[in-house]
């Protein structure tokens, strides 16, 4: 058992929005690892960060991803920082991974400036720029496909991605 696709990318790339749309087009379920973590912890991601710290959150994230990669067959969206973990990057090998690429201007428009995103709580624009630059090579290193999302609607992106996945499945 393996996800139909694993969607990665920075905050504002559209992982959840596009992932849900792709899942609907493919007729499969959608799941977001941040949601799985919140269910298991009984509280939101910001609360986990502030109450227990980022290392505890990242350990929970690593566990949720490892489990989902072997038990979930739909479209799986990972949190933006999940690829920082070398074990997670290794676990993604052999899976169909889609990197939703977005540039800073579009990402800022989509996420706003930090609401509900613990890592963007201080100097959000500069922090987002730093995170995107730091993580871009990691997203690219695990990607089977890269889809550019700038100036595109979620429907356009989802249609392209669903097409890529259907071709790959045949």
Full-model pTM = 0.89
Query: Which pLDDT belongs to residue 113?
Result: 52
**Banded pLDDT at 116 (limits 50, 70, 90):** low
**Helix axis angle, 33-41 relative to 45-52, nearest 10°?**
60
**Domain coordinates in residue numbering, the chain:** 5-169
| Measured distance CA(44)–CA(36) in Å, rounded | 10
Q: Taking a C-beta distance cutoff of 8 angstroms, is the pair 152, 101 a contact?
A: no
Average pLDDT, rounded, for the chain? 89
Does 60 have pLDDT greater than 70? yes
Query: Which pLDDT belongs to residue 111?
Result: 66
**Banded pLDDT at 41 (limits 50, 70, 90):** very high
Does 120 have pLDDT greater than 60? no
Q: What kind of architecture, by CATH, is found in domain 5-169? A: 3-Layer(aba) Sandwich (3.40)
């Amino acid at each position: 058992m393996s996800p139909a696709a694993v969607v990665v990318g920075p905050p504002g790339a559209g992982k959840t929005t596009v992932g849900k749309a792709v899942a609907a087009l493919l007729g499969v379920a959608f799941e977001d690892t941040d949601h799985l973590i919140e269910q298991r912890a009984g509280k939101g991601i910001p609360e986990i960060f502030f109450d227990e710290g980022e290392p505890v959150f990242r350990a929970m994230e690593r566990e949720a991803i490892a489990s989902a990669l072997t038990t979930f067959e739909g479209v799986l969206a990972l949190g933006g920082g999940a690829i920082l973990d070398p074990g997670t990057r290794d676990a993604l090998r052999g899976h169909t991974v889609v990197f939703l690429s977005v540039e800073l201007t579009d990402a800022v428009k989509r996420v706003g400036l930090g609401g509900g995103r613990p890592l963007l709580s201080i100097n959000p624009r500069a922090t987002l720029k730093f995170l995107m630059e730091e993580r871009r090579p990691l997203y690219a290193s695990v990607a089977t496909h890269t889809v550019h999302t700038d100036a595109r609607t979620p429907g356009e992106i989802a249609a392209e991605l669903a097409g890529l996945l259907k071709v790959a499945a045949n």
